Amino acid sequence: MAHDTPLGFRSLVLYEIYVRNHGPHGTFADVEVDLERIRSMGVDVIWLMPIHPIGKLKKKGSLGCPYSIADYREVNPEYGTKADLKRLIERAHGLGLKVMIDVVYNHTAHDSQLLREHPEWFHQGERGEPTTTVPDWSDVIDLKHPDAALSMYLIETLQQWAALGIDGFRCDVASLVPLEFWLQARRTVAETRPGVIWLAESVHAAFVAFRRGRALRGLSDGELYAAFDLTYAYDIWPAFQAAVAGRVPAARYLEMVRFQDSIYPVNFIKLRCVENHDQTRIMALAPTCSQGMAWTAFEAFNKGAFLIYAGQESAARHTPSLFDVDRVEWGTFELQSFLSTLAHLKKDPAAVTGRFVILDCDPAVQATWYLPGASLYGVFNTGGATGKVHVQLPDGEYANLLSGALVRVQGGDMNLPETAVILRSPQVTDPRPFYSDLLDYDRRPN
């Protein structure tokens, strides 16, 4: 990963907001009103999905997609003005929150300002027309990287937003833009605002292979860590979704989580989540609400930063449309306390400085943040099993940090929780990781 990434970034909690659908009016002011509640959950960074004017030519839906950007240097008038955004940033900073915005530098809208001013900066089709290399993205056209003048314009744009007070950039399909550009952008932006957080939306491994097979750019997560602090976990996302839906055993996904430890830089940081604006809500994907909560607890406990998608605290099942007004269904905020507890546990000394170990997968996922004298131990009933589970803990009574209820371990066994338990134990010995045929075929213990 980038050489100056703080290790503490793996304990960050991010909160994703689509301004159009967040509040009753779809404005920056709506978000500003909600900041205190969001901060109380233990959130460190609010991520605003693209805040820029949206293209109208070949738009999708009634209002168009926020990732089809008409002008990188302005704000969408639907949301308010730059002064409104500035006030939102200042209010967030006053509460100790950082503000991240989306950066979409692979493509623009068909009627973007850049196309009007610099048509030479765009990828050309066979007939010389600006086009996209991803046919499904019919509402956008690709920028033609590398180009020194284009790079200068884009980086100067980043500097302008950093000067306004923006603390981080979530870079859309970062895998499709040259690594050299990202390296230059990181160095240059640091001159304006040191300590900016760089999050790459790295893409599915199959998409990287697909593009490379057609002589198109596709950076792997390992390459992106040279410029970015965090990358998405899309490299193993299909295994995660299949495990949540019950199509494959949890062990299949946990094998891939362990595999990440062997292929990325030491102290790599993944953005862990169970849902986002592009993915099915966890409560719609998991067979039961309890299993959805168990998976949520595990991903928050997992090594890496944790993302909460607005509406998740109300157990929302519907993923709002990107293309129309489709307000978040806030309900009763029934999972807010649960998510808040998970978010605050990201700052526990064991999670900040300890060693993460996956211990078992059957009949429940078990993992620990091992820190001598102050370990955290989690049992996550992702499969909805009943009965007892054997744990690597001394016998005794423990408080479930998620609920406060007492949990008894007797004879090395405990009752399976309905969802999850996270316990503190000063007596956890050096933990024994789980083994699998896939990763440890010739190393299985006797």
DSSP string, 170-194: EETTGGGS-HHHHHHHHHHHHHHST
One domain for residues 337 and 367 = no
Question: Cα separation of 56 and 63, whole Å?
Answer: 8
Strands 396-399 and 375-380: unpaired
Which SS3 state, helix, strand or coil, does residue 118 take? coil
CB of 420 closer than 8 Å to CB of 297: yes
**Is 444 a domain residue?**
no
Do residues 276 and 411 share a domain?
A: no
Answer yes or no: do 105 and 148 share one domain.
yes
432 is a domain residue:
no
Q: Say yes or no: 211 and 273 in one domain.
A: yes
What pLDDT does residue 431 have?
77
pTM listed for this prediction: 0.96
Query: Are 111 and 59 contacting, i.e. CB atoms less than 8 angstroms apart?
Result: no
Same domain, 272 and 406: no
Q: Is there a single domain that holds both residue 93 and residue 139?
A: yes
Residue 1 included in any domain: no
- For 205, the 3-state DSSP assignment is helix
> Digits of tens for pLDDT over the chain (446 positions)?
577 788 899 999 999 999 999 999 999 999 999 999 999 999 999 999 999 999 999 999 999 999 999 999 999 999 999 999 999 999 999 999 999 999 999 999 999 999 999 999 999 988 889 999 999 999 999 999 999 999 999 999 999 999 999 999 999 999 999 999 999 999 999 999 999 999 999 999 999 999 999 999 999 999 999 999 999 999 999 999 999 999 999 999 999 999 999 999 998 999 999 999 999 999 999 999 999 999 999 999 999 999 999 999 999 999 999 999 999 999 999 999 999 999 999 999 999 999 999 999 999 999 999 999 899 999 999 999 999 999 999 999 999 999 999 999 999 999 999 999 999 987 776 677 776 655 554 554 44
Same-domain check for residues 270 and 411: no
Q: Which range of residues forms the domain containing residue 114?
A: 7-347
Residue at 446 is within a domain: no
Whether 442 maps to a domain, the answer reads: no
Alpha-carbon gap, residue 208 to 216, rounded angstroms: 9
CATH of the domain at 275: 3.20.20.80
The total domain count for the chain is: 2
* Secondary structure of 326-375 in HEC code, one letter for each residue: CCCCCCCCCCHHHHHHHHHHCCCHHHHHCEEEEEECCCCEEEEEECCCCE
Please give the pLDDT value at position 437.
Answer: 56
Residue type, position 64, single letter? G
Same domain, 363 and 387: yes
Quick check: 143 and 123 in contact, CB under 8 A?
yes
Domain limit, last residue, from 323, 347, 371: 347
Final residue belonging to a domain, choices 347, 368, 387? 347
In a domain? residue 430: no
Q: Which amino acid is at 133?
A: T
What is the per-residue pLDDT for 433?
Answer: 75
Q: What is the pLDDT of residue 439?
A: 55
Of the residues 317, 347, 377, which one is the last residue of a structural domain?
347
Q: What is the pLDDT of residue 146?
A: 97
Residues 330 and 361 in one domain: no
Q: What percent of the chain has pLDDT over 70?
A: 96
Q: 420: closest CA among 439, 403, 398? A: 403
Do 209 and 192 share a structural domain? yes
Q: How many CA atoms lie within 13 A of 386 on its CB side?
A: 0
| Positions of E strands within 119-243 | 140-142, 168-171, 197-200, 230-232
Neighbouring-strand partners of residue 355: 370
Asked if 341 and 362 sit in the same domain, the reply is no
| CATH number of residue 374's parent domain | 2.60.40.1180
Residues 295, 367 within the same domain: no
How far from 42 is each of 335, 360, 446, CA to CA, in Å? 14, 28, 44
Q: Give a yes or no: residue 31 inside a domain.
A: yes
Measured in residues, the chain has a length of 446
Is residue 215 included in any domain, yes or no?
Answer: yes
